[in-house]
Structure 1
Amino acid sequence: MKQHPYRYNKQQWKFLLFIFAALIAAASLLYSNYLVKSLSLSERTKAQVWAMSTKSVVSMPDVDDEFISFIFAVRDSLSLPAIITDQNDKIILWRDLDSTKTAIEDSTSTLEYDPVYFEKQLNQMKKAHPAIELSLDTNEKWFVYYHDSKALKQLRIFPYIQLSLIAFFLAIAYTVFNSIRDSEQNLVWVGMAKEAAHQLGTPISSLMGWLELARVTYEPKDDTLLNEMERDVQRLEIVADRFSKIGSTPSLSNHVVYGIVEDYVNYFKIRTSKRITFELTGDQHVEAKLNVQVFDWIIENLLKNAVNAIEGEGKITVNISENIAKEEIFIDISDTGKGIPRSNWETIFLPGFTTRQRGWGLGLSLTKRMVYYHRGQIFVKDSEIGKGTTFRIVLKSNLRYEPTQI
């Protein structure tokens, strides 16, 4: 399998850009984690200082007021949600928690609190950080638990929010620029296709004139050769007309599918190796809305693809059937060629993908586009290495819809 060099280089650049973006994201996250750890250590130090200052107030009741004021100033400067408990998890002190969950009874001067709220906060603090242990002079032990500050919590999630927003912006920008680029490329291809059709017009007209002159001048007894040459020139006219319709909206009309396919198969098989046989079977009466020239192009691409897949002798079968319940028409084109690996069943429809040494890899991608124009589907129905492949086209019978551009 090979891909067109342009597509290969494009994929390489995408891969390199993805690696570069991943490295930037990783570096950002690593640096943010470093800052989070540093701030976390700083906050634990604050919690320890608060715990020690609280211990000092409790353990030294006889110190002068000035020293007590200093201790309170140090303690109150360390703003951090925290709870102190004894060895039995009884809450003794707390700070910077929801003031609506606490109250002071003036008559008894005792603190009361919402037990459910404080139990929840205490459990969260226990999970967040190891306790800071305080040993009192009375041989009791207190345990200090604390929450991260709001700044630290925000710093933990900020890199992910930042990277998500950047990724979202880049995705939108990539989509918009891709759309603009594709639109520009489509205009170029449409212009080239119409110019090719225009350039083919003159020599095709000349060939038709030369054929007519040959008939009149030489009066051949057997016109078979000239008739086939004329069919080829007419085919060139159809090809030129196809290219002229690219970028426009061709009309659709009801046609018997079997007859359209049969006409092209009869034209195609006499221009193919005699070692390859053709068989057309199925329902001869189902109708669908088609543009004959565009639909012929679909069948042509699939038959050429089938011929290229066959090495030596082989058979190509076209079967037309109808699913009346779903109002669908199935066109199955099977060959006895080399088959397609299952991993490539979707890939083969991408522009630039080809298994041939020469080729642009545009046949099946263009075919899919033309089937979509008919509001149909095309996919690999079945394939086995060494035994062959079956492509299925699904069309709606007598479908009514507004067509789009090819």
Structure 2
Amino acid sequence: MPNLRTMMIKKDRLYQYHTKQRWKATLFLFAALIAGASLFYTNYLVKSLSKSERTKAEVWAMSTRSILTMPDVDDQFISFVYAVRDSLSIPAIITNEKGSIIFWRDLDSTKTNIKEQADSVGDTLQYDPLYFEKQLATMKRNHRPIALYLDTGEIWSVYYRDSDALRQLRIFPYLQLSLIAIFLIIAYTVFNSIKKTEQNLVWVGMAKEAAHQLGTPISSLMGWLELVRTKFDAENDSILNEMERDVKRLEIVADRFSKIGSIPALTSQAVYPVVQEFIQYFRVRTSEKISFELTGDRTVEAKLNVQLFDWIIENLLKNAVNAIDSEGKITVNISDNIAKEEIFIDISDTGKGIPKSNFDTIFQPGFTTRKRGWGLGLSLTKRMVDYHQGQIFVKESELGTGTTFRIILKSNLRYEPTQV
């Protein structure tokens, strides 16, 4: 039951993929919940402290009014009022009905007055009006004033601002969450890098082993083909010629796998002939009900590794064939964006289409919508396009109508290849 086993493995991979996505979403929601709870509790503390400071400001205003309106009470009571007022440390300014500043407290002593050199009298202290104007404007924005009703009928206004501790408390949760976010991003990047390195090592090992295992049977097949040609005098037999092409294709596949983990050379190639040659090979191995069309600029060049680039085109064409139920058309168009020195390769099919929600996820390892398949084709394709320092994405797709993949390659530029 190999088909049943393959389907079970595929379902298991899909389950693992969706489980991974759910875990990511759960962790994100948990992190958002922690952040929200932290901000909510800090906001509660800020409001409580803000009410407390408002009460302090009101008590300070009342004690100031008592000092100004009760000059005949005994010294002990006055001393008590002074002690109460001085114990309430809060930046505040009192203005009269005209808006002129007549008293302040707990402001920056280095800015509430400045030294000014007099000609003959010596140093005198003068107020810094600009500093007071800024402080008063800030206090007016932050809190509504407290009214002081004097016995003379005047109404003074007391303005105050938050203490330094309260202002720092307002900022603290955002600073804390920012530092935690930075730490998590760095940790995620490091662990993700380690994970990718381990995956790459496994991938490289498996690929090279596959190439090694393919080498012996491919050599044997070539020998058997030569033996058949000689024995039956069939040097130009068309069937044997096609079999030879397939065996040579297997050699190319083995060579591709042997290059995984290395840095194959990129050479300047005309893109159109490379694509055309593979389509000619691929067309005769596909249903006659599926037609192929190659259009576009025949002269554009890019730096390619032909064997790996063939692999890219092969995966995309196979994907297009699988998307077409019975009869359809596959179009490959090559164009040149001269302004940006880019080459566009658009591969379109008249298949079943891709939902927009899957435009990005289809390039992730293990993601597939087919009954048979491992979900590695497009992931590998993207890896090889990245090797060519290009881009691949779903340009457009409509369910029931078809899909267009776009590859973007740089033209006439020097490349710095990395490992495949």
> Which category of TM-score, normalised to the shorter sequence, fits these structures?
0.7 to 0.9
Task: Tell me which residue corresponds to 2:201.
Answer: 187
The 3 A distance-change label for structure 1 pair 63 and 267 is same
- Render the CA deviation track for 1:262-309: whole Å, top value 9, x for unaligned: 322222111111111223344545544322211110111111111112
- Take 1:179 and 1:353, find their aligned partners in 2: how far apart are those partners? 21
Q: What are the equivalent positions in structure 2 for 1:132-171 lying under 5 Å apart? A: 132-171=146-185
Would the aligned equivalents of 2:266 and 2:303 in 1 still touch at CA under 8 Å?
A: yes
The alpha-carbon deviation at position 355 of structure 1 amounts to 3.3
Q: Is residue 2:23 matched to residue 1:9?
A: no
Q: Is residue 2:72 matched to residue 1:62?
A: yes
The alpha-carbon deviation at position 404 of structure 1 amounts to 2.0
- Take 1:286 and 1:333, find their aligned partners in 2: how far apart are those partners? 17
Q: Is residue 2:389 matched to residue 1:375?
A: yes
**RMSD of aligned alpha carbons:** 3.0
Task: Tell me which residue corresponds to 2:85.
Answer: 75
Would the aligned equivalents of 1:4 and 1:360 in 2 still touch at CA under 8 Å?
A: no
- Take 1:82 and 1:328, find their aligned partners in 2: how far apart are those partners? 65
Equivalent position SS for 1:354: coil
The alpha-carbon deviation at position 328 of structure 1 amounts to 4.5
Q: What are the equivalent positions in structure 2 for 1:230-379 lying under 5 Å apart? A: 230-322=244-336, 328-341=342-355, 344-379=358-393
Instruction: Give the alignment partner of residue 200 of structure 1, picking from 210, 214, 220.
Output: 214
Would the aligned equivalents of 1:4 and 1:361 in 2 still touch at CA under 8 Å?
A: no
Would the aligned equivalents of 2:229 and 2:235 in 1 still touch at CA under 8 Å?
A: no
The 3 A distance-change label for structure 1 pair 21 and 325 is closer
- Render the CA deviation track for 1:55-113: whole Å, top value 9, x for unaligned: 22222212233332222222112111112233443433221123333489xx9xxx974
Instruction: Give the alignment partner of residue 214 of structure 1, picking from 179, 204, 228.
Output: 228
Counterpart AA for 2:16: Y
- Unaligned regions of 5+ residues in structure 1, if any? none
- Take 2:335 and 2:88, find their aligned partners in 1: how far apart are those partners? 81
Q: Is residue 2:34 matched to residue 1:24?
A: yes
The alpha-carbon deviation at position 403 of structure 1 amounts to 2.2
- Unaligned regions of 5+ residues in structure 2, if any? 1-10, 116-120
Counterpart AA for 1:98: D
The 3 A distance-change label for structure 1 pair 60 and 375 is closer
Counterpart AA for 1:70: F
- Take 1:70 and 1:326, find their aligned partners in 2: how far apart are those partners? 80
Task: Tell me which residue corresponds to 1:117.
Answer: 131
State the identity as a percent: 74
- Take 2:245 and 2:61, find their aligned partners in 1: how far apart are those partners? 98
The alpha-carbon deviation at position 11 of structure 1 amounts to 1.7
Equivalent position SS for 1:307: helix
Counterpart AA for 2:186: I
Larger RCO of the pair (alpha carbons < 8 Å, separation 6+): 1
The 3 A distance-change label for structure 1 pair 304 and 72 is same
- Deviates further, 25-34 or 312-321: 312-321
Task: Tell me which residue corresponds to 1:101.
Answer: 112
Task: Tell me which residue corresponds to 2:8.
Answer: none
- Take 1:12 and 1:51, find their aligned partners in 2: how far apart are those partners? 57
Superposition TM-score, scaled by structure 1 size: 0.87
Equivalent position SS for 1:332: strand
Aligned length: 401
Task: Tell me which residue corresponds to 1:35.
Answer: 45
The 3 A distance-change label for structure 1 pair 389 and 38 is closer
- Render the CA deviation track for 1:98-135: whole Å, top value 9, x for unaligned: 3333489xx9xxx9744443343233223322333333
- Take 1:327 and 1:116, find their aligned partners in 2: how far apart are those partners? 57
